[in-house]
Structure formats: structure tokens, C-alpha cells
A and B are shown apart, each in its own frame.
Chain A
Amino acid sequence: MGKQFIPKITVFHCINVFGDGEFLLPPEKQDAAVEFIKLPCSSMVKDVFLLRAFESGADAVLVLVCPEGACRYVEGNLRAKKRVGWVKNLLDEIGLDGGRLALFNVAADDAAAVEQIIVQTLSQLADLGPSPAA
């Protein structure tokens, strides 16, 4: 039997989306490894951070940013969106599938939305399988 696939997701998030609180996965998804990395603003997420998350074994990387027009630093979420788009193209070029990286606009403390995003990502990973570079 092949080794069981335990999906690993790295989530970069702005502290204004949610702060220090431990985020709980739904019970049926507890076997996934989800690592949260908080940033003072989503614009702090540099291209190389996203790539190194994949180098560290992530099968998917998510960037959670404030809704457009709601960034405390005016354009941080827009800059993050641009960078994520750039790195998605780079991942496609590498052959890793840019679909493994995604950005979502999430309202402050909307835990239900975050949970939904993670569940959706796990479902996509079930189809995509492990990262070929993990």
C-alpha cells in the first residue's frame, strides 16, 4: 500500500483577518497539517516566502487578506494580490500548478469563511494530490 497522503497547507494571513487565536479545523479534517503564519499586513508576504513554503513541503499555500477597500494600510491587500498572481505564474512555469496557491479576501474574524476556504482547499488537494516538489 502506498503512503497515506496527509495534505499540508501553509496559510499566510494578515492579523487583521484574524489574530492570535488557534484556528480549529472541523473534526473530519483534523488529519490535515495546516500551518498558520501571521503577518502584520498581507503586503508583507514576499514572493520568496510563498516559494519557500512549497520548498518546506506544503501541498498548497493560501494567503488570506482583508476585503478590497478595507486594508488598514490602504493597498497592502492589493500588493499581496499582485504578488500571488506573479508567483502563481511562476509555479505554472515550474510545472507545480499555480492552482496550489490562492488568495482570498476575508472579512475580519470571519472564522466560518476561513474554515470554508480550508475545507475547499483540502477538497482540491484530494484531486491534485501531493506537491511533486514536496
Chain B
Amino acid sequence: MIVGEQKSIAEIKNIVSPYKKVLILGCGTCVKTCFAGGEDEVAVLASALRLAFKKDGRRIEVEEFTVERQCEDEFVQESAEAIARNESVLSLACGAGVQAIARRYEKTPVLPGVNTTFLGVLEKHGLFTEECSGCGDCQLAVFGAVCPFTRCAKKLLNGPCGGSQEGKCEVDPDTECAWSLIIYRLKLLGQLDNLRAYVPPKNWCASGACGPRKLIREDHVL
């Protein structure tokens, strides 16, 4: 899932301060799971903003609405009436959701309330870890399903750096060494020979270095 973190109240307050009527628009998919922008977070932020502005002697109308996914136009349309009632939209979706809302409602200021952080997994309740960089050229089959491009601080593709200690990364001792995990997993799978194969440098174009990527599924396009 896409993992994001809500911006600080101070930053959000600053972003919405030019407006008297703000719609806080939540997204019920990824950012809901990481407690950044689902219905509950929308309610908490709305209440916090009302209190913050009231404390400053300013009155602001804050409306709350959450759609299933802000990155899909079908769901985005459900927010049309709520958006029309307000001067601006504070989107608690990832950056893609913010832009999808702005694309549909081009005369309405659409503001980000979340810092989109990474593609990750829910390791345990409340703990999210980055596991994928969306590089566009997945080699997990070689690495025992542990991504060195994302999980190795040095992004090494042909073996460990030699600096890890007791399976922990020398860059951050709280992080497991990706190469320790790769070797452990390849041992379990009986695939240690994978380590002998040379992995060529990545094609950075596939990971976005040649401009924004586009995926077309012709069989779904009319």
C-alpha cells in the first residue's frame, strides 16, 4: 500500500488559513490503513482545526467527507456537492489523490494534508515499513523476494557491503541488513547459487528517471 503521514497541525493550519470554508476530504484505501487520511483521521483533524482556529479567535467552517479512493474518478465524483459548498479542499489522500481531485475540480484550490512517504507493508499494528520503490523492473525472483534496491541503504544489487553487524545495517542499527535477509531466505529456498549471477545496473528509465511513467492496458481502453 501507499504509506503516508499527516502533516503537522501548524503546517495544515498555515495551508488552509486563507480560506473560511474548507472541506477535509479523506480517502478510504491506503491512507486509511496507515492512519493518515481515513474517515477517523478526517474527523480528528477537523476537530483539531476548529479548536485551533477558535483559540486564535478565528471562525472557520470545516466540513468532512471521505471517498473510497481519491485516485479514481468514479469515486471522486461523489465529493462534487461537498466541494461546491466549500472554498477549498484539504485532501488527506496521497499525492496522486490530491492531483486527481485537482484535475476534476480545476477551479477549486486543492491542498495536501498528507506527506506521501513510501510503498510499504503493515509489519505489525502501527508499524509500516518500506518494501518497494516501484522501480518498474522487479528482480525479486533473484533476491529471494527481499528487495535490495529498496531495503539496502546503499541499494547494492550484487552482494552485501560488508559493514553490517549481527544482521543490522551499519547506516541504521534499527534496520535489518537487506543482504542478510536475502542470504537467509536464499538458504531456506536452496537458491544460494543466485548470488553467483551478475545483476546488471538498473534501467533507471523504468523507475521514472525518463519522465512520468504511463501504463496502458489496450484491452481495457475504449
Contacts and interface: CB of A to CB of B under 8 A. Distances in A.
A55 B8 contact: no
B47 A48 contact: yes
Interface in A83-100: 90, 93-96
A51 B44 contact: yes
Nearest to A82: B126
A133 interface: yes
A133 B10 contact: no
Contact of A54 (B8, B40, B43, B51): B51
- Main secondary structure, interface of B, reads helix
Interface centre among B40, B44, B52 (most CB of A within 10 A): B44
B8 A94 contact: no
A47 B40 CA distance: 9
Given A90-B9, A93-B8, A48 B40 contact: yes
24 contacts: A46-B40, A47-B40, A48-B43, A48-B44, A51-B48, A51-B51, A54-B51, A55-B47, A55-B51, A90-B9, A90-B44, A90-B48, A93-B8, A93-B10, A93-B48, A94-B9, A94-B48, A94-B52, A95-B55, A96-B51, A96-B55, A132-B55, A133-B52, A133-B55
Interface in B42-70: 43-44, 47-48, 50-52, 54-55
A94 B43 contact: no
- Main secondary structure, interface of A, reads helix
Given A51-B47, A93-B48, A133-B52, 4 more contacts: A48-B44, A48-B47, A55-B47, A94-B52
Interface residues of A, number: 14
Interface in A27-50: 46-48
Interface of B: 8-10, 40, 43-44, 47-48, 50-52, 54-55
Given A46-B40, A132-B55, A133-B55, A52 B10 contact: no
Contacts of A93: 8-10, 48
A95 B55 CA distance: 8
Interface centre among A46, A54, A94, A132 (most CB of B within 10 A): A94
Contacts of A51: 44, 47-48, 51
Nearest to A46: B40
Interface of A: 46-48, 51-52, 54-55, 90, 93-96, 132-133
A51 B50 CA distance: 10
A67 to B, nearest CB: 23
A95 B209 CA distance: 43
A52 B47 CA distance: 6
A17 to B, nearest CB: 25
A94 B8 CA distance: 10
B40 A94 contact: no
List 9 tightest A-B contacts by C-beta distance, closest first.
Answer: A51-B47, A133-B54, A133-B55, A48-B43, A94-B52, A133-B51, A132-B55, A93-B9, A47-B44
Contacts of A95: 52, 55
